[in-house]
Amino acid sequence: MPENQTKEQKKIILSGIQPTGVFTLGNYIGALKNWVAMQDDYNCAYMIADMHSLTVRQEPAKLRQQILSAFAVLLACGIDPKKSLLFFQSQVHQHAELAWVLSCNTQFGELSRMTQFKDKSAKHADNINAGLFTYPSLMAADILLYQADLVPVGEDQKQHLELTRDIANRFNNLYGNTFTVPEAYIPKVGARIMSLADPTKKMSKSDENQNAFVTILDQPEVIIRKFKRAVTDSDMVIRYQEGKDGINNLMSIYSAVTGLSYDQIERDFEGKGYGDLKLAVGEAVVEHLRPVRESYEKLMKDKAYLESCYREGAEKAASIAERTMRKVYKKVGFVGR
Ligand code: TYM
């Protein structure tokens, strides 16, 4: 980007993360790492998607703690509140308002096709609530409120992004140009980090098996132990190829944290065993996450600083969101407020 390009001319980024449980290495490589890298070249808005978390049952005191902790993790990862907008979704009421308008422009059939809805309703069969179903309309609102051009996410959110584009186009066609139609930004390496216990499944913070995922805040010895136990295969060749899900996953994690290409990794590990690769990946991840964990521990002791950051973030976010909301309410025929 040319140096004389002003903040106003930069493209707009919006992304979000749910504060349920400590973020995994999958969240970090698939999303957060890019969030940090994009701050200089784009106008970025990042939010803790706390409203999305209510689609599954939460314990209130624990949720509040997790929301604050998630905020500190984002700061610790390198999100700079001087460069980027960082806020809690629930503190900007326009998200709920736009979600309602958009849900009236989203079809039942479209929502029924969302694979995440199908997966989560199978997993929480005793609580298939309306929020779980209309979740993509709220996610569309998050994005469209800020007129985002790009949305950095992992592969699992691609379907929701496509639906957001359909909703935006539909609204623009019905009511005249209102929303920027956003594009997904999915990383080439690490868009889908897999479970260490079952490399055919995505790494998820809600996995019951603690060995399936590494979190950003895990202690070094825990990280090493989990990598040592990672499930691989029995043919003993370190090569990135179809059918070698466990090795492919280890290689993509290693590549994401070291910047080495797959070719280079294959060369470096020629003649070496899976144990060597597992240890090297574990150690590289430990070194990569060490500064994040240390900075997180300091930030969690400074609640006043955290509060000043999220208050300011919500205020700035609301003023942008309100501009879009006024436009939307006018377009649909409401009397201006
Ligand atoms: P969430 O909280 O499940 O995940 C946050 C981000 O992490 C990515 N991710 C992964 N990437 C690679 N490998 C994995 N194993 C992995 N697991 C998670 C996700 O793709 C995501 O980018 N609905 C969203 C949150 C959200 C949002 C938004 C995102 C709410 N509103 C608006 C973008 C724009 C979610 O539940 O992500």
Say if residue 174 is exposed, middle or buried (CB neighbours under 10 Å; 0-12, 13-18, 19+).
exposed
The helix/strand/coil state of 188 is: coil
Tell me the angle at which helices 274-299 and 60-77 cross, rounded to the nearest 10 degrees.
Answer: 100
**pLDDT of res. 1:** 46
Shared domain check, 155 and 51: yes
d(CA 253, CA 284): 9
Give percent of the chain with pLDDT exceeding 70: 98
d(CA 197, CA 201): 9
**pLDDT of res. 190:** 86
**pLDDT of res. 6:** 59
**pLDDT of res. 165:** 98
Q: Point out the ligand 1 atom lying closest to the alpha carbon of residue 52.
A: 30
Residue 18 alpha carbon to ligand 1 centre in Å: 7
250 lines ligand 1 (CB under 6 A): no
Residue 52 alpha carbon to ligand 1 centre in Å: 11
Residues in the chain predicted with pLDDT less than 50, given as ranges, are: 1-3
Choice among 33, 202, 244, 278 that is catalytic: 202
Shared domain check, 310 and 292: no
d(CA 68, CA 73): 9
Task: Find the domain containing 27 and state its range.
Answer: 7-190+303-332
d(CA 220, CA 239): 26
The CATH number given to whatever domain includes residue 77 is: 3.40.50.620
Residue 203 alpha carbon to ligand 1 centre in Å: 12
Shared domain check, 77 and 18: yes
**Residue 205 among the catalytic residues:** yes
Choice among 33, 120, 244, 278 that is catalytic: 120
**pLDDT of res. 21:** 84
Q: Is residue 204 part of a domain?
A: no
Shared domain check, 146 and 97: yes
Shared domain check, 215 and 167: no
| Count of structural domains within the chain | 2
Order of strands, edge to edge, in the sheet holding 183-185? 85-88, 43-48, 12-17, 150-152, 183-185
Start-to-end Cα distance in the chain: 39
**Contact of 160 with 129, CB cutoff 8 Å:** no
d(CA 196, CA 132): 27
Shared domain check, 320 and 286: no
Prediction pTM value: 0.94
